[in-house]
Structure 1
């Protein structure tokens, strides 16, 4: 079962789609999300958010502070400022 992922900044949606994995940097360390992950709400630290799509492509976004939410295989990354790399 794939993850449904969206990466948004304060002014735009940067990327949305299905993925195998999401890796992001939080204030307490790096977190990896796979399908079936327990619900979590994390505070982002400045750094990269990497999404591995179902095709194996890697989407990378540089994100400033914000948060990451995971629930029922839906991953939402909200950053105050972010851009695709």
Structure 2
């Protein structure tokens, strides 16, 4: 079994996703960020508009449009705190 990250995706008023993922990608103000298990701790500001992509075990991918917020990577996993978050349509995915 591949190593996985514990992931929480939270919008201002609700928890959007809690679970595990093999890879988390997000666009920050410093550029595109890919987080795999064992990534160094960091804090980044999400770029606007942006997307957060979760590659789940088995190859499924979830894509979320996010507005504002931060991504935090710790030894415990990844937390994304967004001002707004909604599922991306197939046309939105890039």
The gaps in structure 1 that reach 5 residues or longer are none
Match of 1:18 in 2: 20
- Structure 1 residues 17-69: Cα deviation after superposition (integer angstroms, max 9, x where no partner): 11100000000101000000000000011211000011211010000010000
Aligned residues between the structures: 85
Higher strand share: 1
SS of equivalent to 1:45: coil
Runs of 4+ residues over 2 Å off in structure 1: none
TM-score, structure 2 length as denominator?
0.86
Match of 2:92 in 1: none
Q: Larger RCO: Structure 1 or Structure 2 (Cα < 8 Å, ≥ 6 residues apart)? A: 1
Higher radius of gyration, 1 or 2:
2
The gaps in structure 2 that reach 5 residues or longer are 89-94
